[in-house]
Structure 1
Amino acid sequence: MFFLNRNGQEGIDFSPELQKSHLPSITAGVDKRKRAREDYSVIDLETTAAPMNPPPCTPPQFISSRQTLNVVSTGLRLSQGQSQSIEQRSSSSPMIDGNFAGEINGQADELDRFLQTQGEQLRCMLADTSERHYRELLRTREESVRRRLREKEAEIERATRRHAELEARAAQIEKEARAWQVRAAAKEAEAMSLQARLQQVVAHGGGVTAAEPKLKSVDGVDEAGDAESVYVDPDRFESNGPSCRICRRRAATVLALPCRHLILCKGCDGSVRVCPLCLSLKNSSVEVFFF
């Protein structure tokens, strides 16, 4: 029988006879302290191996040499049967570990599939949210563009209407300008005709001929005075032209219209309503300047 110490070194080989002769003495000579420590180790081992259903431990007793051949001390006070049961359980543990590993791998695969599904759903949800957001932005932008287009169209319409009004006003102004040009040309022709008549009147000494009929008195002027005023003395020379038919003191410089008689001065023009010569109604008068 071999005895192993706690350091794992081989003990001394004893023969069966020596074992029989010395076993009681060896067993009896064990230190109490060492036995108590070994008993504590046996209790711990039993507590640890309890879930594995180890065989019940018996208190140490004297055994025969034949039985001691089957019992090997391992330093943990385990018999060979206990070692075999532990080996069987350790051999069955890889199967259990394989089952656990397969289950763990299956759960890991299921978790991966779940995470992948959730990630796909989250991606789809984010894509839908982004699409709705972009559609809302596009709708808002389109409404803003439409509003600005309507404003620009209204501005263009107002500008077109204003342009048409300005064109119509310009055409009217141009038409009025042409009418004023025609009237100005007519007035200019009339003024030239009046100028020619004035020159003729000045050349003939007041524009009064002997063939004219007798005139009635106007404003206290008798016919004799009127006839005297009609008479032109060829020897008399007046530098200022014909005299006024009303006051007879100033030169006649105002032409009565529409009869066109040059017989009034500027002072008497405002107080006379009819022409002193032809007694026609005086509408207006024109002052003539002689050079």
Structure 2
Amino acid sequence: MAVEAHHLRVLAPQFIPNSRELGKATENSSAMLGDVQTRFFMSNPLSCQVAPLVYNPVVTAAPSESSLTVAVSAGKKRTRESVSFLGEDLSSLFQNQMAELDRVLADHTERMRTEHSERRRRFSRQLAAVVEDGVRKRLQAKEQEIERVKKLNWALEERIRTLFVENQIWRELAQTNEATANLLRTNLEQVLAAQVSFKDEQRQGCDVDAGAGDAESCCCGEKDDRKTVALAITPQRACRCCGQKEATVLLLACRHLCLCAGCAPATHSCPVCNCNKSGSVFINLS
């Protein structure tokens, strides 16, 4: 039995790109290959009947003791045999055509690699632009939110300052009203104490004059009653305007108890200190 090994080396290894690039290049270069083949066969109408490009002869192994015969190719590099047809040498033509095909494939592969790199760079730039635009929009939104929070904080601070001032005003007003109430309470207590002491003195005077009053007439009795009422109105408690009635009206804001009920509405200033009257309080001493 004889086994023959044929080695058909159409393209040199250094001109063959990797399978992925060759697959991409083949799809886009079919038209160019068609042009090359068309030009080749148009220039050589009989080339379709040419034998294979490279043919390696078979080396038959030396007979051995066994009945098996193996054909082994030579390990050394051998020169290509020339291909001739009708007396014409076509080896150089085939080599030129294959070199041109290799050059076309290499150029197309390089162009595809360049285009792919450019497309990748363009995609990277677009992606960076999209990311940058998104980040810019988010930063603008954050800045607007910060401005809104600043304005809100400023408004709250102004409100706090206003409330603090109002609190101070109300506190001072409360202290003033408390002082006024204390003064009125003190004046009222003094008036009540003076009234009680006057009643005690009047009671004691009535007891002393009880025996002498029996011999007098009724007219004398009425005269004594007028004297008693006149004595009841002391100069300190008499109205500073008319001087006849008892002072029962307290003027504000000077807090002087110096007018009677009849003179108070017609008086616009205190007769003691000449301060403008802002109000009056009637005090019932009975």
TM range (shorter): 0.3 to 0.5
For the pair shown, the structure with the greater C-alpha radius of gyration is: 1
TM-score (ref. length: structure 1): 0.44
TM-score (ref. length: structure 2): 0.45
